[in-house]
Amino acid sequence: MSEDFVLNAEIREDAGKGASRRLRRLEGQAPAIIYGGDKAPVNIQIPHKDLIKQLENEAFYSHVITINVGGDAESVLLKDLQRHPAKAIVMHADFLRVDANKKVTVKVPLHFVNEDTSKGVKLQGGKVSHNLTELEVSCLPSNLPEFIEVDLAEVEAGQIVHISDLKLPEGVTSVALSHGADHDSAVASINKPKGSAADEGEAEGGEEAAE
């Protein structure tokens, strides 16, 4: 992992919606909770500006985070985030404890590369369509990737890239594929340009069949 994410937090004594509102409005703190593992859940508060700054980094959402609270360092993953519907305010955050020796299940963003220079686009005039923007994976925390690359360089018009076509890092497996080949969803495709010879041929074949 190329970057370390660290947040400093304090134990939050007061619970409830009213207390959370006061926390955000008067103290500039974001209410949150740490749960999971063999410890009891802990209500915490994090400086809102610190949390907002970290949330600007895409990797924060699929990365092991260290939260320093009450003299202890907790290794966690961000599992849920509640934002204000109209303002740039975090209403509440949920963090799940992780164990270095136990696999975690996380949704990791997909990064599509070589779209404009792919065979299907540059040579055949096709258009890229994204079916997925993230992939749920299972791995040990130390193997958790910040993103998974989807290389479209050799993909031609009319072809579909499935989950099984992706090159996952060592120790990382697709949750969907663990359920069987029938869960091998489409990740992306390059659609043939409208009016292409292939499309016209298919249309003519359909008309002949209808006759």
Helix (H, G, I), strand (E, B) or coil at 167: coil
Please give the class, per CATH, of domain 104-198: mainly beta
Give span(s): CATH 2.170.120.20, the chain. 104-198
Contact (Cβ atoms closer than 8 angstroms) between residue 80 and residue 93: yes
Comparing 23-32, 42-51, 158-167, 171-180, the range with the smallest average pLDDT is 23-32
Give percent of the chain with pLDDT exceeding 70. 84
Q: Tens digit of pLDDT for each residue in 178-203? A: 999 899 999 999 999 886 554 444 54
Give span(s): CATH 2.40.240.10, the chain. 5-97
Q: Tens digit of pLDDT for each residue in 32-61? A: 999 998 899 999 999 999 999 999 999 999
Q: What is the mean pLDDT of residues 133-152?
A: 96
CATH fourth-level superfamily of 5-97: Ribosomal Protein L25; Chain P (2.40.240.10)
Q: What's the pTM value of the predicted model, to 2 decimals?
A: 0.79
Among candidate residues 54, 56, 76, 57, the one with its CA nearest the CA of residue 65: 76
> What's the CA gap between 60 and 64, in Å, rounded?
8
Residue 90: pLDDT over 80: yes
pLDDT of residue 101: 95
Residue whose structure tokens are 């990064």: 111
Residue 17: pLDDT over 70: no
End-to-end CA distance of the chain: 61
